Amino acid sequence: MLRYELRASDVGDVRFGLSPLCELGLSLRAIHEPSRYPLQLPWLRQTQAARAGLDHEALRALIDDRLWTPDFLNPRPVSPLTRLDDELAVLSRIRTTTFHRDLEAVHGSVPAIFAGDPRAAVRRVVAALRGLWDAAFAPYWPRMRAVLEADIAYRGRQIAQSGLGVMLNGISSTVRFDGRVISVALRDPVDRTRRTDGQGVTLVPTVFTARASAPVGDAAPLILYPARGQGAMWERQQVTTSAALVGILGRVRAQLLTVLDEPASSTELGVRFGVTTSAAGQHLRALRAAGLVSSTRYGRSVLYLRSELGNALVPPAQGT
């Protein structure tokens, strides 16, 4: 069990971030033990051929049989706009003492393939991660990122509507918040309690975990948790719409109107229906022009919601 004890100021400094490097590190779990990550089997199948030429020796040395990874693969993102290039640039400059310490925390000692020149070892790690990204992430990252951004937008609405406690107690069955302490049930048998001491806590949604996780060592307070919608990331959402509504609006607009009983962005809807964000946005703007949906800006996203007129067109039995 890991416990983060929050000061009063830290309660107001619970923030969200996205980290491509965290996704890379966590994906090693699914690659190493796919049976434990059934939701990611479609990704593993689709990327199998592309991953064949990677530096698997280096990648395998970044994870142990407990599926732990070194903390340098779990950087604390500074914003939802974090870029992989920036994170790899920081990793390439890591202190060799930190590099070895993080590996030892996972393996007990530095793996043999990283035991020589530490700067050469760091370069090999960065190159292996870059290769994994180019082969298995770059083609799918827009879709993955859309799922992660949609999760953050949802959690933000939860905070606004129901408060921080409801949001934190809903991110994972293994996370609990009592108003002062965030408890994360980890597979690590050692109990750890840390005071955040003004650092706040960063929450990072991921599509490569089934339960919450956290850094192995004493890195800045960070909780990685399963993003909503990751199970449907590789599938188009199936929505039943009335033939009459399809006849009036067309199939895609009828489906969009049907699911907009809850706010959603064009990015999120594009992922759910297997269309581009621009195509979803075009349909949504047409529905808004007809008075069937309303829109409001939430942070960087524009959220759409069915209007009263739209509600009148969608039979209650079609709720999603």
pLDDT (tens digit per residue) in 279-290: 889 999 999 999
Q: Calculate the CA dihedral of residues 209, 212, 216, 217 and round it to 10 degrees.
A: 140
The answer to whether residue 237 sits within a structural domain is: no
- What pLDDT was estimated at residue 235? 64
- Which domain does 155 fall in, by range? 2-230
Domain ends where: 230, 255, 283? 230
Q: Are residues 45 and 162 in the same domain?
A: yes
Average pLDDT estimate for 15-34: 94
Query: What long-range pairs does 226-231 form, CB within 8 A, spacing at least 24?
Result: 226/171, 226/172, 227/147, 227/148, 227/150, 227/151, 228/147, 228/150, 228/151, 228/154, 229/147, 229/150, 229/151, 229/268, 229/271, 229/272, 230/39, 230/147, 231/39
Among candidate residues 230, 265, 297, the one where a domain is terminated: 230
Q: Is residue 97 part of a domain?
A: yes
Mean pLDDT of the chain: 88
**CA distance linking residue 320 with residue 311, whole number of Å:** 13
235 domain-assigned: no
Is residue 303 domain-shared with residue 226, that is, in the same domain? no
pLDDT at 251 exceeding the cut of 80: yes
* Co-location of 76 and 210 in the same domain: yes
Same domain, 175 and 116: yes
Residue 256 lies in a domain: yes
In the predicted model, what is the mean pLDDT of residues 271-275? 72
User: Do 37 and 120 belong together in one domain?
Assistant: yes
107-146 pLDDT per residue, tens: 999 999 998 899 999 999 999 999 999 999 987 887 788 8
pLDDT at 236: 63
Per-residue tokens: 134: 């180019």
What confidence category does residue 225 fall into, taking pLDDT thresholds of 50, 70 and 90?
A: very high
For the stretch 47-106, pLDDT in tens is: 899 999 999 999 999 999 999 999 999 999 877 778 999 999 999 999 999 999 999 999
Question: What's the total number of domains in the chain?
Answer: 2
Does residue 236 fall inside a structural domain? no
Query: Does residue 136 share a domain with residue 223?
Result: yes
- Domain presence at residue 177: yes
pLDDT of residue 319: 46
> Taking the model in full, what pTM does it have?
0.74
pLDDT the model gives residue 73? 95
Which domain-ending residue is among 169, 202, 230?
A: 230
Residues 143 and 263 occupy one common structural domain: no
Instruction: Note whether 189 and 53 are same-domain residues.
Output: yes
